Structure 1
Amino acid sequence: MAVILASQSPRRQELLGRIISDFDIVPADIDEQIKEKITPEAYVQKMASEKAAYVAEQYPADLVIGCDTIVTIDGEILGKPVSRADALRMLRQLSGRTHKVYTSVVMKKGTQQSSMTVPAEVVFYELSDEEIECYLDTLEYQDKAGAYGIQGQGALLVKAIQGDYYAIMGLPIATVYRMLANFSE
């Protein structure tokens, strides 16, 4: 049985590599648009489940790990920015405030499935437009939920966190480690 990560995220690949050394990468090609009224927790769980199911259908004998991470504030899900202007809007919205990050992990093999959603809170410093523009110049915001990556220059925006740092990065490794141990039993 192979382990397959249903993600092309370099961060998730690096983090999973801290737990297991041998796994394959098969990105899940699913529609991630929000089409219905749904809570952030339900949405992130649904996306991780759909990613795992999409890849597991192609590889039913293997263990597939699907993940999704979202940033929320004021009940709004801040996905990946579609433009620099969208990223600017998001970072202004997060400036000086606390927001929530949810990462959901779904493991699927055949008819077996296990899932966990790990929340965390992030507090941003009050950011000037100049600070935001300097951050945007790094291009790090691209392809990142909430328009920042805490593991890079985005760390300079963060005043405090509460919860699992690795969940904020996109793969809560301690949770995944335990899920893998329980899944193989």
Structure 2
Amino acid sequence: MNEASDAVPLAAKPCLGHNVLRKGSEMLSGKSYPHSLKAGDAPQSSFADRRNTARTPVIKSAKLIVGEGYSRGIYNCLVLDESAGGVLIDLGTLFNLPDEVVFHMVGGAMRRAKRRWTAGSKVGLEFVGEHLVSAETTHDMAEIARLIRAQGLLAGVSALRARHFFKQNQLQEMAEAAEAAYIRLEAMLKGQ
């Protein structure tokens, strides 16, 4: 690159990113668009062309769960559109996501998802398999969390037992360990 091209203001430089994305979506969709379009003739967004199922534009909060154990990370994101097969999210910053994540719509279901493409801070995720946790179960768990805050741990564990710990072994183990620790702490404080 020579110094003359470096001196050109950034706004005056042509942006190739849109054409590259458009060409990529043309290859994926099998559609071809003329390279000089008139106003009103523009194709749908290059992000929109990548899905096989109907999309719904939305603005919703979600979380991505990455990794497990001590290396587990939870990241906030914004859902820009959704379909039965996946979502378009915006992380708000450049981020190198692994190929597979757990996607959790705030107040909704949790699903495994594969990263299909990335463009800047936007990521296309495809859902894989069935729901890990349904929206109804997520709602019920939130109700039990409120019950624990209002009436205490033992009331919450009792409610979890009534729901068979939502058939989640890890949840059952944690709840029963917390209950046992609570009972031991209470006995110690009472001098027993």
* TM bin (shorter chain): under 0.3
Computing the radius of gyration from Cα coordinates, the structure with the larger value is: 2
**Larger relative contact order, structure 1 or 2 (CA cutoff 8 Å, min sep 6):** 1
